[in-house]
Structure 1
Amino acid sequence: MTPATDVLVVGGGPVGLAAAIEARLAGYDVVVLEPREGDIDKACGEGLMPGTLRALTRLGVDPGGHVIAGISYRAPARHVDHRFRSGPGRGVRRTTLHAALRERAAGLGIDVRHARVTALEQDEDAVRAAGVTARWLLACDGLHSTVRRLVGLEVPGRGRRRYGLRRHFRLAPWTDLVEVHWSRTAEAYVTPVADDLVGIALLGPQGMSFEAALAGFPELSARLAAAPAAGSVRGAGPLRQQAARRAAGRVRLVGDASGYVDALTGEGLRVGLAQARAAVLTLEDPGAYERAWSDATRDYRVLTGGLVAWATSPLRPGIVPVSAGIPALFGALVERIAR
C-alpha cells in the first residue's frame, strides 16, 4: 500500500482532535475520520483540571466555561475541601470544548471527513481504513473502540461494572468547587459549566436511574429541587476497559481506546491529551509509545484503581470521614490529580 497521508486519526472527539492537532503541529499531514457531525456531546463530568487547561493552551485551545477552584468530597454531615495550589481549572460543556478543538483543527488545515471505520488492513509500510491510506493510524475512538477490536487488542471485561449518567440543570452555581457527593452505592459530580448552568454526573452500578440515584444525595437533591433540567440524560459505560497493549503494527491506541479505569478522579481528558502527545512523538517506535503510555497513565491507574477498589468495598462509608480526618493527605491527592 502507498500512503496518501502521514497520520490517520480514527475518532473526532476531543482526544482525537487533540491528537490530530499534535500531529499537524509536528509537521505531519493528517486526516480525521468521525461518523458524527457537529459538536459531539458525551456523558462526562466536564471539569477540566489545571493541568488539562495547560495542555489545551499549549495546543492553542482556550474554551469558555466557569472557573473551578478545587474539589470537595461530601457526605451527610461531613465534607472536606481543597483548593488547587497550581491555579484554577475550568468547568466546560463538552460541546463547547469540542467546538474549540474543531475550530483549532480547521485553522491548521486538518482534513476531517465523516466516515465510519468497519474494517482495517495494514502492511509494513501503511495502514488503510475507510478508503484512506496512511503511514500510521491513531485510534481515538473511545471506550468501545472498533479499531481496538479490529487489530485484536480487545480484552474481555472482568469484575464489577460501573456506568456514568449526566444531566444539566438550569441554575446559578452555588460553588466554585467540583463537589463529589457520596451515597451508599453511587457518586455525584457537580460541575459549574456556565453562570446559569450546572452539570450533574452520576457514577454507579449498571441499571441505576438518574432520578433514583439523585434521590440518594439529600444535600444535592435539595439544591436542585426547583431547578429545571436542561437537556436529557446521557449515559456511558461500562467504564472499565482494557487493551492487551497499545500498539499493533502501525496502529496506536490513544485515550479511552487504549484502556480506561474509571471516572472517579476526573483525569480522563488530561491523561488522553498526554497520550495523544506521546503517540505523535513516538510514531516510529511502538515500544517507545508503550513506555510513554505507561509513564503518562501511571498515576491515574494507581490512584483511580485504588479509589475504585475502596469505593466498591465494605470500607466505602469511610472515604469522606477519612479524607476529612486527614485533610493534608486529601489535598496531596487532589494536587496530584490536578497537575
Structure 2
Amino acid sequence: GFRARYLAAADGLHSPVRAALGLARPARGPRRWGIRRHVAVAPWSESVEVHWAPDGEAYVTPVADDCVGIAVLSSARGGFDAHLDGFPALRDRLHGAGHGPDRAAGPLRQDVRHRRAGRVLLVGDAAGYVDALTGEGMGLAFGAAEALVDCVVTDRPQDYDRRWRGLTRRYRALTTALVRATAHPWVRAGLVPAAGAAPPVFAAAVNQLAYRAAVRSGWPAGTPGSPRTR
C-alpha cells in the first residue's frame, strides 16, 4: 500500500525492477563472474594486491587486523578453491586458514536500454554494469545517486539518463576496452611484464583510477585509507 511519486531502483546486478520494465538488453562482450571469500589471516600489506592468471584476476584487500578479502574475477565458472588453484603463490599463503562463506555474482556485464521509465530511475548496478576490473563501482554508484536526487528535486527525471551516461562514459569505455583486450591470451601474458618494465606508467594509471573512484565517492584521494594498489 505504500505510494510514492518517484522510485529509485537500486536492486542490484540482476535488477527485478529493470527486468519488469523491459529496460534490460542482451549483454555484449566477454562474460565474466566474480566470487569472493573472507579469510582469517592477518593482512601482509596495507595495499590492495592484484594477482594475474591466464583466465582471471585475484584481488586481495585488507579487511581487518585478522582478515583479508579475496575476490576473483574470471571468465571461467567454478568454485572458489578451483579458481584459487590458478594463483599458486596466493593459495600457498592462505593454506589452512579459516574462512567465511563464499559469495558469487555474474555474469557481471549488464547492458541497459535506458536508466528511466517514467518516474522509475535505475541506480547502482541496476543501471548497467561492465566489470569490476577497474574498481570504480562504489564511486559511480554514489555519483549516480547524487545525480538522481538532483533530477528528482528539480522534477526533471528526463535528464537522468543523459547525466548518467556522461558520468560513466570514461568508466564504460576504459573497462570495456580492458576486458575485451585481456580476453586474448597473448595480451594477458604480456600485461604484467609490461607493467614491470614501466612502473611509473603503471603506477600513474592505477593512481588515476583510484583518484577518480575516490572523488566520485566523496572520499578525497590521498587521505588515510584512500585506495592504493600494487
Question: Which range, TM-score by smaller chain?
Answer: 0.7 to 0.9
Residue 337 (structure 1) aligns with: 209
Distance 1:334 1:147 in 2: 34
TM-score (norm 1): 0.59
Partner secondary structure for residue 133 of structure 2: coil
Segments of structure 1 that go 5 or more residues without pairing to the other structure are 1-130
2:88 matched to 1:218?
Answer: yes
Partner secondary structure for residue 134 of structure 1: coil
User: Rg: which structure is higher?
Assistant: 1
1:206 deviates by 4.3
Q: 1:270 aligns with which of 139, 145, 159?
A: 139
2:176 matched to 1:305?
Answer: yes
2:151 matched to 1:282?
Answer: yes
- Gap change, CA 1:330 and 1:152, over 3 Å in 2: same
The RMSD of aligned alpha carbons is: 1.4
Distance 1:206 1:216 in 2: 11
Distance 2:177 2:196 in 1: 18
Q: Which amino acid aligns with 2:53?
A: S
Distance 1:310 1:177 in 2: 26
CA shift digits 1:5-37 (9 cap, x unpaired): xxxxxxxxxxxxxxxxxxxxxxxxxxxxxxxxx
Distance 2:205 2:168 in 1: 15
Residue 222 (structure 2) aligns with: none
Partner secondary structure for residue 133 of structure 1: coil
Q: 1:160 aligns with which of 30, 37, 40?
A: 30
1:181 deviates by 0.3
Distance 1:158 1:288 in 2: 26
Residue 175 (structure 1) aligns with: 45
Partner secondary structure for residue 232 of structure 1: coil
1:327 deviates by 2.2
2:18 matched to 1:148?
Answer: yes
2:124 matched to 1:255?
Answer: yes
Q: 2:166 aligns with which of 295, 306, 309?
A: 295
Residue 197 (structure 2) aligns with: 325
Partner secondary structure for residue 165 of structure 1: strand
Structure with greater proportional helix content: 2
Give the number of equivalent residue pairs: 208
1:289 deviates by 1.4
Structure with greater proportional strand content: 1
Distance 2:138 2:180 in 1: 21
Identity across matched positions, percent: 52
**Residue correspondence of structure 1 range 112-127 to structure 2 within 5 A:** none
**Residue correspondence of structure 1 range 11-90 to structure 2 within 5 A:** none
